[in-house]
Amino acid sequence: MKIQSIRGTHDIFGSDLKKFNKIRKQLVKIAKSFNFNEIHTPIFESTTLFSKPLGQQSDVVLKEMYTFLDRNKDSITLRPEYTTPMIRAAISNNLLNSIPCKLFGLGPMFRRERPQKGRYRQFNQINFEIFGTSDYFADVELIIIAHNFLKSIAPNLKFKLFINSLGDKENLKNYKNDLKKYFLKNIKDLSEESQKKIHSNCLRILDSKDSKDNKISLLAPKIISYLSSESLNHYENIKKTLNELNIEFIENPFLVRGLDYYCSTVFEFKTDSLGSQDTLIGGGRYDGLIKLIGGQDLPGIGWAGGVERMILLMDEISKTEKLIHFAILKDNFKSHALKAYNQLSSKNLPVFWNYKYNLKKSLSQASNENASHIVIIGDNEFEKKKYTIKNLINGSQKIADLKDLEKIINND
């Protein structure tokens, strides 16, 4: 019986795992330099944590959640995103007693979407969230972090930052009313999918991928004329500061994001190098969400980035680390070899015992696995209690005592 992996899931290993680890390393580094605290939350939560906050009519809630009844009939959902669990965790653990509360995390999310390149049913997200401030500088700070992070993991990648403001809840309500009226007037020219969204989720017609919808949206009312002076001021300050920092951005009045909790600033980092799944990072403000989940009435803002999409775009990581293979030519040389094996591994040098006891096979495996060195133990080395150490990158070879092996490898 050959058991297949579940559609839309994938294993991460080899060069992708190296990229994954680089992402994790850069994430921790950047989070530390901006003083964000790491948090891990459970992979499953009560379904109610997601259903209302993400929007009853959002695709994530309507079609994509992995929801099941536990044995005691509680409804449980595999987390489709990280913002709501982080808020739940901040409330549960009293982290909001000290604000601003700045958290970050990395972990798997689950959405039952149609799998394609860059879109999976289990995927990893990195997340940054700031709870407890409406200062526009928090928006800028998060954009700087996202920008620096992408530059650090993929220095050659070309990406674009798109921004928009959805105003406060009142601005958005008025805008949605007028937008609905406008789309109703033009209903016959909209795609079938968008026609269905007019009453349930008319904002999403604006970012439809159908060209018929895009044509109608071009002449639709624009959110900017609905913003209160406070919202407008917030948005203007962000743009001014990004300009001062030379962070390029494009204003996109059709950027609305897929989850219901957003208001005010929304932003996305996109690339032309990924096909249709082109958003690397998406985020925005969600004032009101913390209260909805049972906390104080605090504002919040954050972003999430898709790790698998980043991996697809990263350059191969060249191998500079050491890896020491062993060629032990006879079975009874094992204990002599073991002394070197133990000593090098105890100094944190990665060693590899191939169980082959054959020079040709050992050399060929060392070369296949890009080993940096091979320690050879033949008759001569065994008799003289020495080790031949061959540098597989430049071909040089030395005979050494046990005590000198580490120094030779590290100086190579």
| Residues forming the site for ligand HAM (CB under 6 A) | 81-83, 111, 113, 118-120, 123, 125, 127, 129, 258-259, 279-284, 302-306, 308-309
Question: Least CB distance from residue 366 to ligand HAM, whole Å?
Answer: 36
Residue 328 CB-half CA count within 13 A: 21
Question: Least CB distance from residue 99 to ligand HAM, whole Å?
Answer: 16
Q: Which residues pair with 192 in a beta bridge?
A: none
In the complex with ligand HAM, which residue's Cβ is closer, 213 or 305?
A: 305
Q: Which residues pair with 325 in a beta bridge?
A: 352, 374
Residue with tokens 């300009």: 243
Question: Least CB distance from residue 329 to ligand HAM, whole Å?
Answer: 49
d(CA 195, CA 202): 9
Question: Least CB distance from residue 342 to ligand HAM, whole Å?
Answer: 43
In the complex with ligand HAM, which residue's Cβ is closer, 110 or 175?
A: 110
- Whether 285 and 106 have beta carbons less than 8 Å apart is answered as no
In the complex with ligand HAM, which residue's Cβ is closer, 207 or 404?
A: 207
Cα dihedral 309, 313, 317, 318 in deg (nearest 10): 160
Q: For the chain, how many residues are written?
A: 412
- Ramachandran assignment for 395, one of left (phi > 0), alpha (psi -120 to 50 degrees), beta (any other): left
Question: Least CB distance from residue 151 to ligand HAM, whole Å?
Answer: 17
Question: Least CB distance from residue 286 to ligand HAM, whole Å?
Answer: 6
Q: What is the CA radius of gyration of the chain?
A: 27
Question: Least CB distance from residue 187 to ligand HAM, whole Å?
Answer: 28
In the complex with ligand HAM, which residue's Cβ is closer, 161 or 190?
A: 161
Residue with tokens 């050879």: 376
In the complex with ligand HAM, which residue's Cβ is closer, 178 or 207?
A: 207
Question: Least CB distance from residue 144 to ligand HAM, whole Å?
Answer: 16
Structure tokens at 53: 């906050």
In the complex with ligand HAM, which residue's Cβ is closer, 34 or 352?
A: 34
Question: Least CB distance from residue 334 to ligand HAM, whole Å?
Answer: 47
- Whether 256 and 164 have beta carbons less than 8 Å apart is answered as yes
In the complex with ligand HAM, which residue's Cβ is closer, 280 or 400?
A: 280
In the complex with ligand HAM, which residue's Cβ is closer, 134 or 343?
A: 134
Q: Which residue's Cβ has the minimum distance to ligand HAM?
A: 306
Question: Least CB distance from residue 275 to ligand HAM, whole Å?
Answer: 12
In the complex with ligand HAM, which residue's Cβ is closer, 83 or 372?
A: 83
In the complex with ligand HAM, which residue's Cβ is closer, 107 or 258?
A: 258
* Of 328, 322, 319, residue with least CA distance to 375: 328
Q: C-alpha angle with apex 390: 388 to 396, nearest 5 degrees?
A: 115
What DSSP designation does 308 have? H
- Whether 256 and 203 have beta carbons less than 8 Å apart is answered as yes
DSSP 151-196: HHH-TT--EEEEEEE---HHHHHHHHHHHHHHHHHTGGGS-HHHHH
Catalogue the E-assigned strands of 259-385.
263-271, 279-285, 300-306, 324-328, 351-352, 373-377
